[in-house]
Amino acid sequence: MPVKIFADGAVLADMVALYRSGSGVSGFTTNPTLMKKAGVRDYERFAKDVLAEITDLPISFEVFSDELAEMERQARKIASWGGNVYVKIPVTNTKGVSTAPILRRLSSAGVRLNVTAVFTTVQTEHLVQHLAPTTPCIISIFAGRIANAGVDPMPIMKRAVEIAKVLPACEILWASPREALNVIQAEECGCHIITMTPDILAGLRTFGKDLAQYSLETVQMFYQDAQSAGFTL
């Protein structure tokens, strides 16, 4: 597929297995929430262990300060860990203050950025004014969460792709997918990348499956589960 798939997670063994399996994954993303869930305690050690194994695909590691000056310091340190590192920086801090000033400085200095937690067209329009045109960057738009709010994300994603064309090195990423179908939707919108968790990646194995056969297999699953549970009436 034209859209690139980035695996989203923070379990080292899973990341390395995907990297070595020839699964078609083109990159990796992490975030503090995934790291906490995976039991990561030493942020830097985890990141360096990942980078020691995955040397030639892009990997995003996120800053975790809420103060812009400290975000910038963390970003420069994270960027120094490897040439395939993208630094994830949220579009605002927890107080709603835009991170655009540090994005401008970092991008101008050649730091590869992944701007995350983007939800609106206005945010995307603002971001492209502060990112260097020749420094690779990613704008991660949370299409899945937009859909959870009862809003169709596809017009927002399509518009973001158009807006980002002023930056030749910028890619739009469909973030927080909810199902395998989102891969097709991301492609229809012209997105460059979609992130996928392991469970959604597993769902790609059923692409192109005959629906009648899929129906039969589902009925068989229900029957077999009822039998193995020993249900009686």
The model's pLDDT over 130-180, given as tens digits with 9 standing for 90+, comes to 999 999 999 999 999 999 999 999 999 999 999 999 999 999 999 999 998
Q: Is residue 160 part of a domain?
A: yes
What pairs with residue 103 in β-bridges? none
145 forms beta bridges with none
- Whether 218 maps to a domain, the answer reads no
- pLDDT over 90 at 198, yes or no: no
| Rounded distance between C-alpha atoms, residue 110 and residue 51, angstroms | 19
Could you tell me if residue 212 is inside a domain? no
Domain that holds residue 51: 4-206
In a domain, 151, yes or no: yes
The answer to whether position 46 is within a domain reads yes
The pLDDT tens digits of the residues spanning 208-219 come to 899 999 999 999
76 located within any domain: yes
Kindly state the average pLDDT of the residues 81-91: 98
Residue 137 CB-density burial (10 A; 0-12 exposed, 13-18 middle, 19+ buried): buried
| Residue 198 CB-density burial (10 A; 0-12 exposed, 13-18 middle, 19+ buried) | middle
- Report the b/e string of 35-46 with b at 16+ CB within 10 A: beeeebeebeeb
Residue 226 lies inside a defined structural domain of this protein: no
Distances (CA, A) of 82 to 46, 60, 101, 155: 14, 11, 24, 35
Residue 1: pLDDT over 80: no
CA quadruple 200, 33, 129, 154: dihedral sign:
positive
Question: Residue 32 contacts by C-beta under 8 Å, 6 or more apart in sequence?
Answer: 62, 64
pLDDT (0 to 100) of residue 176: 95
CA distances, 159 to each of 14, 92, 107 (Å)? 34, 21, 22
Where does the pLDDT of residue 204 fall: very low under 50, low under 70, confident under 90, or very high at 90 and above? confident
* Across 75-83, average pLDDT: 98
pLDDT at residue 94 greater than cutoff 90: yes
CATH of the domain at 162: 3.20.20.70
Let me know if 36 is a catalytic residue: no
Does 219 map to a domain? Answer: no
- Reading phi first (left if > 0) and then psi (alpha if -120 to 50, else beta), residue 81 is in alpha
Q: Which residues pair with 115 in a beta bridge?
A: 89, 139
Query: How is residue 38 written in tokens?
Result: 């995976």
Count of structural domains, the chain:
1
Catalytic residue chosen out of the listed positions 88, 95, 165, 209: 88
